[in-house]
């Protein structure tokens, strides 16, 4: 899942970014509304975590802009005010969910995953392929009943491939959707991660390499 965090309190923004990356998400962080609009014009995000009171372009206007584009990007709005009136106003701007500060990181992660599912075709809560299962909410993947010890990126790659339901996924698409903007586009990270994932999944192999195409399950 590709997430943009828009928060002018840099310490909080960076902390949220670290937490979400540990959850296997690809996260970019900006600190003002102008940068948020610039990033969303270049990258298709699944979720934008948007603080309402940010410098430059106000969070309300960023939300309106994203809603007007009728894109698949979902908006989780953050605010220091938790009144019902503020929540109603935030949702009326086009936000998909609303979370008052201060918040627990566990709730933030759960809400991001919930709104993120709305940006994609409907999928079952647990992804299954043969004896391979993956539960994104519980962060558990098993094969043949045995739990797999996957890193955050390995889990995210496996989740993305399973969610594609047999569609061929290019290395470039994996790089864009699973990693963030800091990654070197010429890196061999995708190939290395796929190789480690194949090793952990064991036999018979479930990840197929499609020549000049990419990977699929």
Q: Summarize pLDDT for 163-209 with one digit per residue, the tens.
A: 988 899 998 888 888 887 766 666 788 899 999 999 999 999 999 99
Q: How far apart are CA 117 and CA 127, in angstroms?
A: 13
What's the pLDDT tens digit per position in 8-42? 999 999 999 999 998 888 899 999 999 999 999 98
Q: What is the DSSP letter of 101?
A: S
Between CA 177 and CA 47 the distance in angstroms is 12
Beta bridge partners of 47: 3, 74
- pTM of the predicted structure, to 2 decimals: 0.67
Q: Which domains does the chain have, with CATH numbers?
A: 2-118 (3.40.50.2300), 127-216 (1.10.10.10)
């Amino acid at each position: 899942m590709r997430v943009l965090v828009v928060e002018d309190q840099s310490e909080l923004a960076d902390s949220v970014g670290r937490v979400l990356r540990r959850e296997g998400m690809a996260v970019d962080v900006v600190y003002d509304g102008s940068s948020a609009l610039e990033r969303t014009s270049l990258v298709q995000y699944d979720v934008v975590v948007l603080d309402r009171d940010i410098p430059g372009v106000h969070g309300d206007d960023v939300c309106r802009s994203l809603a007007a584009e009728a894109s698949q990007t979902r908006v989780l709005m953050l605010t220091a005010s938790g009144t019902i009136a503020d929540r109603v106003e935030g949702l009326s701007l086009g936000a998909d969910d609303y979370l008052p500060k201060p918040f627990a990181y566990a709730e933030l992660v759960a809400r991001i995953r919930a709104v993120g599912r709305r940006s994609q075709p409907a999928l079952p809560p647990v992804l299954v392929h043969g004896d391979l299962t993956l539960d994104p909410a519980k962060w558990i993947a098993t094969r043949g009943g045995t739990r797999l010890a996957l890193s955050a990126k390995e889990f995210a790659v496996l989740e993305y491939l399973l969610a594609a339901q047999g569609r061929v996924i290019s290395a470039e698409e994996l790089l864009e959707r699973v990693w963030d903007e800091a990654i070197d586009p010429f890196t061999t990270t995708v190939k290395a991660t796929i190789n480690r994932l194949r090793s952990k999944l064991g036999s018979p192999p479930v990840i197929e390499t499609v020549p000049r195409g990419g990977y699929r399950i």
